[in-house]
Amino acid sequence: MKITPDENTGSLSGRISFVNIKDGNDGPWGSIGVITDDSYMNKDKVKVERSQAITVEMKAHTLLALAEILNKGDSIHLKYVLRVDKWKDKTSGLDRKALKSHCTQIVSHTSKAAKDCLKQAGIMKSPQQAQQPPQQAQQPPQQQSNNAGWGQPQQPQQPQSSYAHEKAN
């Protein structure tokens, strides 16, 4: 039996719901909210929409450097570790603790504007397009003659390499 070492890492992808920077007792700190899509198909093959809101703590210098480009609606993929934060409650004087996720790496970030451009160009599917049934394949355009006039669109010619010529012989 192989025993694997304990590991305290995770990965999270979703949309940014907020960016928060505050001054604390030990200096500035921050967090971002990430909304993840946790939808699934039930036994009747009906999609059940479900999402989770997760707050991820970040180092202040990282968040301050990225505050200008991280916006609500942007897509983000990050890695995190779980930590137990402990503190003394100011009103009751009791010791408190909470399990929190702390970002260790931002793997990727795509702005909402960039995603919208990719969807508009047809490079990225929107959720509505992904749910539509596939359409019939379109017929390829007809070949045009090579003697098209100046300014007329022409089909690009495929160059033949000498290697392809040698393989044919």
Task: Kindly tell me the burial class for residue 104, based on how many C-beta atoms sit within 10 Å of its own C-beta (0-12, 13-18, 19 or more).
Answer: middle
Q: Supply the pLDDT for residue 64.
A: 80
Task: Kindly tell me the burial class for residue 106, based on how many C-beta atoms sit within 10 Å of its own C-beta (0-12, 13-18, 19 or more).
Answer: middle
Q: Supply the pLDDT for residue 5.
A: 66
Cα torsion 66, 70, 76, 82: sign:
positive
Domain boundaries, the chain: 10-124
Q: Supply the pLDDT for residue 159.
A: 47
Q: Supply the pLDDT for residue 114.
A: 83
Choose among 51, 110, 50: nearest CA to 78: 110
Q: Supply the pLDDT for residue 96.
A: 93
Fold of the domain built from segment(s) 10-124: OB fold (Dihydrolipoamide Acetyltransferase, E2P) (2.40.50)
For 18-29, the DSSP string reads EEEEEEETTEEE
Q: Supply the pLDDT for residue 169.
A: 44
- What is the number of residues in the chain? 169
Choose among 12, 127, 18: nearest CA to 76: 12
Question: What is the chain's pLDDT, residue by residue, as a tens digit (169 residues)?
Answer: 666 667 788 899 999 999 888 887 777 788 999 999 888 899 999 999 889 999 999 887 788 888 788 889 999 999 999 999 898 898 999 999 999 999 998 898 888 888 788 778 887 665 555 555 545 544 444 444 444 444 445 455 444 444 444 444 4
Q: Supply the pLDDT for residue 111.
A: 82
Place of tokens 């379109």: 138
Other CB atoms within 10 A of residue 31 CB: 19
